[in-house]
Structure 1
Amino acid sequence: MITFRRILAPTDFSAHSHEALRHACGLAERFGAELHVIHVLSEIIPTGPDPLLMPVMPPQFYAQDEERAKEALKTVLRPEWGTPAGLITAVCWGAPAEAIVDYAAGSAIDLLVIATHGRTGLSHILLGSVAERIVREAPCPVLTIRSAPAATA
């Protein structure tokens, strides 16, 4: 029988990642698993196409950003989504795909639940796919959740 003891759900606080968190909470409750919710921050702030023109931010900028993320993680889960056996939140620094894969490996995660943003065409080529890279490199099974497309009028 397949069991999951530790489930990881990264979030960027978007509607897409909230949908993945909802699924992760339900799975964590069903399997009696510990839920890890992480947010990845990047020190690189893209301000234009030329990386040499990026400003150097003072260290307190990063500390404030990390503190805001930690506070947001405290309230990101909704009670109606389910109650995991335990909850661990963390803020990581780095490239999102690498940081998520590293966290999963270092925390012995059994299942990774991530959102896909559904980018296609040129935006997928230019922006890449964090979810796609995680699926290829993760040390555990990955469940991808794609949000339903918005209804058009």
Structure 2
Amino acid sequence: MISFARILAPTDFSTHSEDALRYACGLAERFQAELHVVHVLSEMIPASPDPLLMPVMPPQFYEEDERRARESLLTAIKPEWGTPAGFATAVCWGAPTEAIVDYAAANHVDLIVIATHGRTGLSHVLLGSVAERIVREAPCPVLTVRTAPARTA
């Protein structure tokens, strides 16, 4: 029998992520699982031809960014989506794929539910797919949720 004790739902606060969070919340309620909602922040690395001229962001910049992300995580789940057995949030720093995979491993996550933005063509080649890399590198099963494109009448 399949069961999940801990479900991870990474979010970038987009509408795509919201759809995946809705799935994750419903699954967490159904399996009486703990739901972990994680947001990954990456340090801004200003580009400059001369490394000595690169501005350094003050620590307050990063602290404020993290504070806003933590506040947003607390309201990311809507009550009508279901009631997980437990709820945890985290803000991680780093590259999204590595941070999510590391979090899943460290917290013994049983399932990752992640949105896919459905990029194709050149944008997929240039930007890659975080979801695709997580599917390949995750220590557990991954459910990808793709938002259906809006239908025109």
Give the percent of matched residue pairs that are identical in Structure 1 and Structure 2.
76
The question of 1:109 aligning with 2:116 is answered no
Which structure 2 residues correspond to residues 65-84 of structure 1 after superposition, within 5 A? 65-84=65-84
- Aligned residue number for residue 85 of structure 1: 85
Contact 2:48 2:54 in 1 (8 A): no
| Equivalent residues, number | 152
Which structure 2 residues correspond to residues 115-130 of structure 1 after superposition, within 5 A? 115-130=115-130
RMSD: 1.8
Task: Report the alpha carbon displacement of residue 48 of structure 1 after superposing the two structures with TM.
Answer: 6.1
The question of 1:25 aligning with 2:25 is answered yes
CA distance in 2, matches of 1:77, 1:50: 43
The question of 1:141 aligning with 2:121 is answered no
* Closer/same/farther in 2, CA of residues 51 and 95 from structure 1, 3 Å limit: farther
Stretches of 4+ moved more than 3 A in 1?
47-55
Task: Report the alpha carbon displacement of residue 12 of structure 1 after superposing the two structures with TM.
Answer: 0.2
Deviations 1:35-67 (A, max 9, x none): 00000000025x669795764211110000000
2:81 maps to amino acid:
W
**Superposition TM-score, scaled by structure 1 size:** 0.93
**Superposition TM-score, scaled by structure 2 size:** 0.93
* Closer/same/farther in 2, CA of residues 55 and 120 from structure 1, 3 Å limit: farther
